[in-house]
Amino acid sequence: MILNSAVKAFGILSVSALIACGGSGDNPVTGGTVDTDVDPTDPNVVTGQKFAFDRSVGLVANSIEFRENVAGDPSDDQLVINNIPFDTTTGEYDRTGTLPNGWGLYQNTERNLEGRLQYFAVFNQSATADVEGGVAASPQYRGSIGNAGAVIRRSGTPVSLPVAGIFNYTGSYSGIREIDNDLDTTGTVPGITLVTGDALVRVDYGDFDVTGDIVGSISNRNVYDVNGTFLGSLSNVSLAEALIDRPTQTINESGASSQDGLLSGTWEGVFGGPTGNEIAAYVILNGTTPSTPGATPTDPVIPGVDVRELGVLLVAQ
């Protein structure tokens, strides 16, 4: 990872700007849960939460805490993200806007102070607050990979999964795409874009003979710059067959890939709610941007270069 020393100017994604793009500005978040019992070298040891954690590729976040400072006023919401270098001394991120699908957009509070990098995060909770998740990344790294992270978690509500039955879970997806902008000689091409989509997860609790089987997809994937400008659309993503880990009420890691063949990676998740009626999952995709423009001439920002997409989906029956 090579740090980009040239600080680029990014606008704040305003609620009003994204309402014009089709967002409502509403936020269903009603509360937060915090679990700080993590191992800084491998946080995936606490039942009910999962982290995209691999220091060799810059995936380092090991905790995200949501703070609703004023009930019913999402503009005062904050995140506290732990273990990301050069963001803040406190880990605090302020909410600076809303994505078109209602997910919150956040930026590190100390982004303008000496030695700090600018970081963006997207985060959401389900309407019941039984599951939540978010991702964070910086546009100020050269290449397609910088220090970043993805975290999903369920609340402390006990989960009792069905032993049989077939269910569809539907909801939304949001993420950050880290783009290799080394070929940009103007200093104007952002190192990240934002992505939203619709998520579908299908669960068969009875097969394979009670272990359970799960598949999913992410469709209607739209890309925006950090100012909320629509850049275009991306190929759907398939979430390959995965199995349930019943002792921990989680979804084992499996493959993920875009249908245009440009991206591949992994996904895994956790169940939430009294009967496992909600799911949070994170997705890691690596590959290249499309080689030709999509829905608009600005999609992709730079064609045919490396990209890493970190995203989270929240779905419910």
pLDDT for 107 = 97
- Dist CA 9 CA 176 (whole Å): 18
pLDDT for 134 = 98
All residue ranges of the chain with pLDDT < 70 are: 1-45, 142-144, 185-189, 292-301
pLDDT for 300 = 60
- The two tokens of residue 149 are 């992270």
pLDDT for 44 = 59
pLDDT for 301 = 64
pLDDT for 37 = 52
Residue closest to 309 by CA, chosen among 278, 276, 264: 264
Residue 6, Cβ neighbours under 10 Å: how many? 7
Question: Alpha carbon of 118 to those of 5, 74, 85, 146, 255: distances in Å?
Answer: 12, 21, 11, 12, 31
Look up residue 73 and give its DSSP letter. -
Q: pLDDT tens, 133-171?
A: 999 999 988 666 789 999 999 998 899 999 999 999 999
pLDDT for 231 = 86
Residue closest to 171 by CA, chosen among 199, 197, 193, 139: 199
pTM, 2 dp: 0.84
